[in-house]
Amino acid sequence: FKAGDVVTWDESVAFPGEVFSPDLRTKIVFVKSRPELATLAQRTKEKRARWSIVAGGGPDQVLEQAGARRAGVVGGGQLWLFEWPKN
């Protein structure tokens, strides 16, 4: 992650410890995905996210359909890291 990058997470993630850097150069922002999972991508874009971490089984599909790219897995393989196109 680069300085100033916004990283979002939702209720499907207990705590995104993997995205915190020792120098706090990233901005970690919680974005609700419940009760309206369909609006998760819009709320994430409103936060100008560069990265998102969500679980599989719904939130991941919403972000992928909205144009985010699967960049890898985190949390022991249980969570997906997504990269958003640069704004």
pLDDT of res. 87:
63
pLDDT of res. 41:
93
Say which amino acid occupies 22. Answer: P
Say which residue, 3 or 42, is predicted with more confidence.
42
pLDDT of res. 26:
83
Please state the pTM of the whole predicted model. 0.86
pLDDT of res. 71:
95
Q: pLDDT of 16-38, one tens digit each?
A: 776 666 777 788 889 988 888 88
User: What is the maximal distance between C-alpha atoms in the chain?
Assistant: 34
- Sequential DSSP letters for 13-69: -S--GGG--TT--SEEEE---SS-GGGHHHHHHHTT-SEEEEETTTHHHHHHHTT-E
Q: Quick one: what percent of the chain has pLDDT higher than 70?
A: 92
Judged by average pLDDT, the poorest of 49-53, 59-63, 83-87 is 83-87
Residue in the block written with tokens 């958003």: 84
